[in-house]
Structure 1
Amino acid sequence: MKKMLAIFAALLFTSSVLGEETKAYTQYDTFRFTINNKDAKILTDNMRNHIKKYHLQGMLKTKIYNITYGANTNEFIWVMGPVSYAEFDSRADDKKHDDDWADNINPYIISYNQSEVWRSMDGLLINNIDEKASDSKRYITRYLTVNSDQDEKVVNYLLNQIKDTLNKIGKVKYWAVMGNQFIQGNLNGRHLMAISSMENWAELDDDWEFEKHFEALHGKGSYTAFRDNYGRVFKNQWQEVIEVNKEMSGM
Structure 2
Amino acid sequence: MTTVSYAARDSATMLRRNLKHALRYPSMTVSVVVMPVMMLLLFTCVYGRALGAGIAGGAAGSGTYIDYVAPGIVLMAATSGAVATAVSVCVDKTEGIVNRFRTMAVSRASFLTGHVVGSVLQTLACVAVVIGVALLLGFRPDATVVEWLAAAGLLTAVALALAWISAAIGLVARTPETASNIPMPLTFLPFIGSAIVPPDSMPAGLRWFAEYQPFTPVIETLRGLLTGTPIGDNGLIALAWCTALTLTGHFWARRAFAVEGRG
TM-score where L is the length of structure 2 = 0.21
Q: Specify which structure has the higher proportion of strand.
A: 1
More contact order relative to length (CA 8 Å, sep ≥ 6): 1
TM-score where L is the length of structure 1 = 0.21
